[in-house]
Structure 1
Amino acid sequence: MFETPRIETPRLILRPLALSDAAAIQSHFNNWNVIKTLATVVPWPYPGDGAESFIRRELDKIAAGEESYQWALVLRARDGEAIGNINFRPRADGRKGNRGFWLAEPYWNQGLMTEAIAAVNDFAFLALGLDHFHVCNAPSNVGSRPGQAEDRSRIRRLRRASAPQWRIQSGEVEGDARDLVARSREAVTLFANTAARKIAAA
């Protein structure tokens, strides 16, 4: 079984998602401002057992051997309450891309998701040894699409689909692994920052 590692950043702890997170996720995720930014179709109004059902389903997939990493985002300075979620599926092949994330609305515009994504990016390129992965956003979420510098930042548009997708690469072959991740962080940071601007303008 693939285990989701605990990852720490300056302000966050990314820990494996657990059933005990259901109440906090239900509270934060049951918010149209959050749900409308997602590429994944989520029922609205959000069901009363939506978070618990989601967590059970994802944990069952992991237990069955699917390579899926599910993190709850927790503030280091708080009581351990989940304030968001990042998932990473390196073998996924579809319009949802390899990574998804959301953050509770009270924590927007603080750079927290940028910080978390950079850490997951490290995990993907260093721990898993990937040389690229795909990300996507909802077609209505125009502000989260990478800007004109996307190619210089190692983000390449793959194709226009119902959920636009991009390819994030680790960089050229030369250079050590840390340099590759640093270049990849530029791409992920650009993606996250434009997403944050869209959220702020919504």
Structure 2
Amino acid sequence: MAGRSRKLTPQDVEKIVETARSGASVATLAKAYGVTRPTIYAAINSHHEKAQIVRAGTASVSFTVDKKSLNAFDAFVGRLNLRSRADALRRVCRVPSGFLEPDEHLAEAVRDLSFQLKAIGTNVNQLVATKNFERRKGQKLKITPDQEQLLSKLLQEIEQVSVQVRTLEGKRASSSFQRYVASMKGQADE
């Protein structure tokens, strides 16, 4: 048969495999589908390979990225001395099993910060409620020295909590990235 063979659809391949199993010859199938015998063999082999992958519990993944992202990924793969994009992507898919697990120390620190913020919020709400009550009674808003001291203290506490949050974010990002890179390199997570 001269020229390029036509492309077989997935439905064609399923029918070819089924017909071949029932005893039809490759030559007969090639003639029926208007393709060469090697195309029929390739379709049957491809079908069996895909079935084997499915039975093995794996799956193909594909996606599209822009050139800039792909170049950055390739550079990252190169820095890690990985063999290929496919190798890197397989590792990326395996990493989340530990990469996205919560860090107990971080979780405890966040719970502590949450408690501190709740206490600050309660104090601010009490102060605002007092000032709103005074305003509704027609009184001129004034801040007593005690209230001014409380406000100053609350602002300092808010700044301290803000610093703690930024520190935790930095530690978590650094720790997560280090674990990610270690997992990509195939090193054990410590």
Please state which band the TM-score falls in when normalised by the shorter chain. under 0.3
Normalized against structure 1, the TM-score is what? 0.19
Bigger radius of gyration among the two: 2
Structure with more helix by fraction: 2
Structure with more strand by fraction: 1
